[in-house]
Amino acid sequence: MSVGKYSPTVSDCYSKDQDWFRKNTTGEDSWYDDDGFDSYGYDRDDKDRAGIYENDYIVGEWINEGTESEEYVHELYSRVYREWTCGIVNGRLVPVRQ
């Protein structure tokens, strides 16, 4: 699994509705949703809903190094990705921990 700019906590919501973030920005500050997170899934302190900083997801490790199946694995990103889904809370499509 590759690591990108988006928090793994929001991946499932984007897969269900590309406009989910826009639909959750009703306040004056459209850079952040009603829960205080930007469209990438991070708050003003660069933490996501799982409480993890964006840069912490970049760290990974090589497995099967030196073989044809070598791969750089981002275990933290993968774990959080598996733990979070998109659910309906108070009539809104939002990231929720499974």
60 falls within a domain: yes
Cβ atoms of 56 and 48 closer than 8 Å: no
pTM: 0.84
Tell me the pLDDT tens digit for each residue of 11-52. 999 999 999 998 888 767 689 988 899 999 999 999 999 999
- Say how many domains are in the chain: 1
In a domain, 40, yes or no: yes
* Residue type, position 80, single letter: V
Within-domain flag for 3:
no
Residue 5: inside a domain: no
| 52 domain-assigned | yes
Q: Which residue has the tokens 């793994």?
A: 8
Domain membership of residue 27 (yes or no) is yes
- 75 within domain boundaries: yes
State the DSSP H helix or E strand holding residue 93, giving kind and residue range, or none if neither. strand 92-97
CA dist., res. 66 & res. 49, Å (int): 36
Q: Is residue 2 included in any domain, yes or no?
A: no
Please give the mean pLDDT across all residues of the chain.
90
Alpha carbon separation from 13 to 10, 16, 40, 69 (Å, rounded): 5, 5, 11, 31
**13: which 2 tokens?**
């919501």
Residue ranges making up the domain that contains 85: 11-97
Query: Quick one: pLDDT at residue 2?
Result: 63
